[in-house]
Each structure stands twice: as structure tokens, then as C-alpha cells.
Structure 1
């Protein structure tokens, strides 16, 4: 049921749910794990583009949905055709919360199976939580269904790992400064300076030139590898590989202004990494111990190393 104190006011709902989050944990955290069947409206990650990269859970939910509210052209139309042709489709682009929340709430309360379909993974730059909080405030339960984010699709396309022993021990998901991010909140240069970070820049195709110019102004090595993957896993995917010094010119020549992921760091090429401990002599230490001890050592190694 709707909260009469703030009917159809998403901002009031977000503020209210935010206060609740600061005061107590949701009981459902301890009742459900990712992938569980749950009650409510699922916020599903459609993956990076290729319909085959949709999760099994996401596929099952879409195939039984009556209403799918999707992220417009950010979701591959082939995926919508394959899994949602039976459902009513609503493009969320251009619609604000004041329109989207009643739309989903009313359909759910009428007994429809409703799916909110985000591109990639809704937990990464998805603006999902504000919608979920507004729905929860209206008495409609919600939950996340993870998806494959574009950084992982880019890694697969580049045939490399985002983390590599002695090359990259960390991964940063970030975005360039602009309307949403102030210059003080832009840490791309800090990540690159660390040296062992693979920096994945979302929502930054339009800002490649500005970003690389700032990195050069900060005296970063101009030969640092950079890859720009346009429409990772889509049929028109394009890969541009260069360096901090020349990638902007290459992207401008290609004419891309959106829908590409920028990856900075030596993991782009995968060159120079060291063999990990996982399949080395260290993993086989204590060869005279029991089979159980050996299995325990192997499990601990897999959990704690590249």
C-alpha cells in the first residue's frame, strides 16, 4: 500500500528509505542470496549486450514477465525480441521517477509480473536503488538480479584479465568528471598513478580527450596502454587500442561519443605478468601430508590468489 504521508513523491520516499537504511538492516539480507526466487519486482541486469550473456535467473524472469520496463537502446533489441516478445515493453528513457514508480507499482498491484531491466549490472552506475527505495516506500518489494557488467565483457574481448600477478592487483570502476562528478571527485589520475590498478571508465566515451589530457598534464607515462571497447559484446563491437598519448585521436577518428568502456593499464595487453602461486610449487607444499590436507591447501590457495 502507498504511504499516505508522501503519495507519489519519489524524493520523499528516497529520503525516508535512506534514513531507514542508516538505522537498521533489512531482514531480507539474511533471508535471501543472489539468485534466489523472491517476491517483488526484480531489477535485472541485462548484461553488456549479447543476449547469451544474460544470466539464467534473468532469462527466466523475462520469459514470465507481463511488463518489462527497460533501459531503451542500452539494452540490445535482440535480447528484447528473444525473451520479451510476449510482454508489454516500456522504454524508461525520458521518463522520470514520478512516472516510472506509479507505472510499475500499479502493474504489480494489479497482479502483473513486472521486471525492471537495466543494462549491464544494475549495481554499477545503474541508478537502481532510488527506484527500488521509491517502490519499497509504496509497499512494493524489490530485489537485485545481477548481470554481467561491460568491464567483464571488455576483458573477455581483450582476451586478458583485469587482475594479473605483478601487473594489476586492483580494479577501479569509475567515471570522468562532468555534471555528476566534480573535479575533486575525479580520481582517475590517482588510480593510474598507483601503477598496479586496472582503471575501467564508464560513461566516459565523450570525455576521452579531456581525460587523457589531464593524465598527460599529471605526468603519467604517455605509453601507458589504453583500450576503448565500443558496444562490448554487441554485433557492432569495435576495439581501439592505443596509449594515453594517442587514444583520444583514434577514438575521435572512429567517431564514437558514447557506449564505450575505457580501460587504462598494463592489463590491457596482459604483457609482463608473473606466474601466480596457484599452480606453482607453493600450491603443492606439504606433498607428504594427507589428501585432506592437500585439498584444504588447494582450496585456500584458490580463494586467496589470482
Structure 2
């Protein structure tokens, strides 16, 4: 944590640049002093989870219940969660506010001795744009820290009653987004992930682009019968599940009228078909693991 100069104090971009330069040369001492879940000084950036208030972490719940000010991600956070856990706090919707407004708001409240929580949807580490806020606050002398949340891909897999990784089906998981206003065509790797065959590809922020994405996959020669699921508002009361294939899912999404707030999952793990029994409950289960791979499997990788 550093202190901003007078010129940088109200310039979040200058603060972000300065913090970025510092990150290139030194590690934050707090990395070695605190683990996730520790009670720490400063403003916590809390993951609200996918929607259902019950999927908020215990630590997140406790922080919200003790907060004086909660800056939240608007309609991306279930209002039921806000009503249940933020009854004593002032609520500020961050949608439509830029860093030049948000950073002074949180900074001044914290400096006035208020307990401030920044509440992001899902997990703030996944497409959350949290670090730029944290860097701007840190540069002004306000400490911050992450409190993890359940990301929508995990809620979607629970709804689909499958695993994102399955032995001999999906050895990898990719969290990605399609090309658009903030991602160029060269930066879109959806087709590459799907082409690997054993990857479960979880597409965030791409509901509006399902047809374009599926058409690109077909143009690249991917199997049109590859399973695809679209889980709208995973874990919310109005959750909806569409299951199809690369060549059929776009019609289903357009018929349902969804343009946002859905998680798209591509790969054979969508159906959970074809997996093989894991080593965890295999022949060696009653003996000692013979390799590091077996040890990793025992920890839950399969």
C-alpha cells in the first residue's frame, strides 16, 4: 500500500499506473502474512456468489452484516441477498459509476471510520474489474483485500448435475469470454479451447453473442453435435436451463429471449456421458498411492 501524491489523488488512472509499476518490482508483504478468509484491515472486495443468498460464503455474510456502507454490483446481485444481510447498511449501486466517482466514495467513507464492503457478483477475481478499484484505493492509503465467492460456472455445473472435469472426458476447464467491444478477434480463444477436445469451456459475458460464437465454431470445423448448455441466472429463482449442441443452441437462446446473465458451457462434460472410473476409488484405493498423480487425484482432482 502506498500514498498518492496530490496530483494522483483524484486520478485513478495515474494510481493504477503507479501500482502497476510497483507490482513489477516488488511483492506485497501481505501475500505472506494473510490467507484467504483472514480478518484483515481495510475494504474487503467480496464475491456475492452466483445469486442464491445461501451460496454467499460465511465470511462474506459476516462482513455484510457488519457493514455501514455496501457498494454493490446493482442487479447482478440478488436483491434478496441485499435485503437479508445488508439491512443496517447504506446501499450504493455501482452500475453507471466510474472510478472517479467510486474510489472517492469508498475512500472517504473508510477514512470517516465506516465499515465499507465492495460487493461484486460471483467471484471478483473472474471478470470482476476489481483490481483497478483496489489499486486506486491502495494508492490513496486505503488497504483492500479479496474475499472469494462462488463463480457462476460452479453454480451451472451443480444445476447440470455434472462435473466440469471428468476422467477421460475433460481434463481442463477454461474460463473465457467471446470477442466483442472489449476483446478483439485475435484475443478470442473459444475455438482453440473447444478444439482441444478435453476442455470444458465456460463462456462468461457472452449470452448476446451465442449465435456468433457457435457460427464461428462451425466455420472452424468443430463437431456440430458437441454438447452446449446455457444456464440463465444460475441459482436465482428464475433460473432456466437450455441444453443443446453447437448447431442448435443459438435458436434456443433466441427463442427464450436471453441477451445477458447466462453462463455458456461447451463440451462433453455438459452431459457427463462417457467418463471412466477415477483412480480415487480404483484398485489402489486400499493401498498407498504409487505416484504424485495418484496423490493429486486423492485430493479431488478427479
Same fold (TM > 0.5): yes
CA distance in 1, matches of 2:198, 2:97: 41
CA distance in 2, matches of 1:252, 1:300: 42
Question: Residues 130 and 210 of structure 1: is their aligned pair in 2 closer, same or farther, counting only changes over 3 Å?
Answer: same
- Work out which of the residue numbers 289, 295, 303 in structure 1 matches 2:299: 303
CA distance in 2, matches of 1:235, 1:83: 18
CA distance in 1, matches of 2:64, 2:208: 32
CA distance in 1, matches of 2:128, 2:5: 25
Question: RMSD of aligned C-alpha atoms?
Answer: 1.6
Equivalent runs, 1:65-84 vs 2, <5 Å:
65-84=67-86
Cα shift readout 1:136-170 (whole Å, capped 9, x = no counterpart): 00000000000000000000000000000000000
Cα shift readout 1:191-245 (whole Å, capped 9, x = no counterpart): 0100000000000000000000000001100000000000000000000000000
Indicate if the aligned counterparts of 2:177 and 2:188 stay in contact, CA closer than 8 A: yes
Indicate if the aligned counterparts of 2:279 and 2:294 stay in contact, CA closer than 8 A: no
TM-score by length of 1: 0.95
Cα shift readout 1:107-147 (whole Å, capped 9, x = no counterpart): 00000000000000000000000000000000000000000
| Structure 2 residue 167 is the aligned partner of structure 1 residue 143 | no
- Work out which of the residue numbers 34, 37, 58 in structure 1 matches 2:60: 58
Match of 1:129 in 2: 131
Match of 2:241 in 1: 239
Match of 1:275 in 2: 277
CA distance in 1, matches of 2:77, 2:229: 22
CA distance in 1, matches of 2:88, 2:273: 47
Secondary structure in 2 matching 1:215: helix
CA distance in 1, matches of 2:199, 2:56: 28
Question: Residues 298 and 220 of structure 1: is their aligned pair in 2 closer, same or farther, counting only changes over 3 Å?
Answer: closer
Superposition deviation, residue 299 in structure 1: 5.7
Question: Residues 204 and 165 of structure 1: is their aligned pair in 2 closer, same or farther, counting only changes over 3 Å?
Answer: same
CA distance in 2, matches of 1:126, 1:202: 11
Equivalent runs, 1:1-306 vs 2, <5 Å:
2-285=4-287, 301-303=297-299, 305-306=301-302
Secondary structure in 1 matching 2:280: coil
Structure 1 segments of 4 or more deviating over 2 A?
282-286, 296-301
Indicate if the aligned counterparts of 1:283 and 1:298 stay in contact, CA closer than 8 A: no
Q: Which structure 1 segments of 5+ residues have no match?
A: 287-292
Secondary structure in 2 matching 1:124: coil
Superposition deviation, residue 4 in structure 1: 1.8
Superposition deviation, residue 297 in structure 1: 11
CA distance in 1, matches of 2:231, 2:279: 31
Secondary structure in 2 matching 1:278: helix
Indicate if the aligned counterparts of 1:176 and 1:186 stay in contact, CA closer than 8 A: yes
